[in-house]
């Protein structure tokens, strides 16, 4: 299983989520809550923000198209 940050369209608008993919590359789950920026150093925050910015250049996913499950507690 792999993951990345993606912009997801839901009922409350656009949010960035950790999106998890099947081995076939299909989005199968997200965390229950949108992703927030956290880290122990400024460098960790920069790295996370860089990955989040990359999500803005990918197609927006619709919440209803993501495998119908959430990976609560799943992290990165």
Q: What is the pLDDT of residues 3-31, one digit of tens each?
A: 999 999 999 999 999 999 999 999 999 99
pLDDT at 1: 84
pLDDT at 69: 53
pLDDT at 76: 47
Measured CA to CA, the distance from residue 11 to residue 24 in angstroms comes to 27
Q: What is the pLDDT of residues 31-71, one digit of tens each?
A: 999 999 999 999 999 999 999 999 999 999 999 999 855 55
Which residue ranges make up each domain of the chain? 2-68
Q: Which two tokens stand for residue 66?
A: 């993501």
Number of H helices, E strands in the chain: 1, 5
């Amino acid at each position: 299983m792999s993951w990345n940050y993606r912009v997801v369209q839901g009922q409350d608008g656009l949010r960035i989520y950790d999106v998890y993919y099947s081995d076939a590359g299909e989005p199968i789950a997200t965390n229950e809550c949108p992703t927030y920026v956290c880290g122990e150093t400024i460098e960790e925050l920069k790295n996370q923000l860089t990955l989040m910015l990359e999500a803005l250049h990918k197609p927006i996913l619709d919440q209803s198209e993501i495998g119908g499950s959430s990976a609560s507690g799943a992290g990165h």
